[in-house]
Structure 1
Amino acid sequence: MSTQVNIRKGGLLELLIVLGILGVLLGLGLPLLSPNRLALDTAARSLAAQVTRARLEAIRQNTFAGLMIFTEGAGGYATFTDKNGNRTYDPGEAVQLVHFGQGDWARVRLDPSRSTLGNMPILFDSRGVPAKPITGTITLTTGTATRKVIISQQGRARVE
């Protein structure tokens, strides 16, 4: 009889330890699954992908193309092809236009105080080469969480 009691106590102790470990893991992992964090990650990855898209559009269209970053309001960006040859973004040239603070990215904001590439185009020539050196960062935030999209000198984007 005493053997059964010891087995039950040992099993209960092991169960409590497992539940404690699961509780700690859940507590650490739950913030990573928040809607704010997911929206921020998706917006940052999409922005980085649009830099690549602008580069490929320049090659495909055999013209200048780029990405214009907007800092007004919640911020946003436009992927564009330079139809009139002035090497800047003009209304009507957008291939894709995104405004943060609305729609799927209602929680996401561009942080102009921590971004070095605001209100200027990231421009590629018809070979997909940056028209001028463009090293810099674009910082997105959802209150407490931030993501940086870093643009290299070669015009490649990565998310940190």
Structure 2
Amino acid sequence: MTIKVGDKIPSVTLMQATAEGPREITTDALFADKTVVLFGVPGAFTPTCSAKHLPGFVTQAAALHAKGVDTIACVAVNDAFVMGAWAKDQGISDEVVMLADGSAKLATALGLELDLTARGLGMRNQRFVLVAKEGVVTHVAVEAAGGFEVSKAEAVLAVL
């Protein structure tokens, strides 16, 4: 079942690339006592994700923070090393927390997994964005296949 407004963010352990190597981060810690924008992409280094989705949130980070967002996080079904390399490639410092969901546990728990095994890509995230306050979803938008409208940073700004 797909997560919806009013649902609590499921408790899952993700990985984050750090200078000291990959480290675990729980959704409980990430979402506790904060307003968080979490956007999910089908994969690091993919065309729309690299050219539009992630850069849009970097560009709009100050505007999102001005509207009360404490943390902006990107999640993909990739490993922490790939997410770290993608962050470096994109020039990400601390504007966006880059999260690795290598086994698609969060994607599955959110009901937002996308099975692309027939195309050789395995399990992925659907392209989505959600806003949660203190771990409770206040907004969620999932793109139609191939779409890029409802999950971009500007769309989130419009609903905050």
TM-score range (shorter-chain normalised) is under 0.3
Structure label with greater radius of gyration: 1
Higher helix share: 1
- Report the TM-score, using the length of structure 1 for normalisation: 0.27
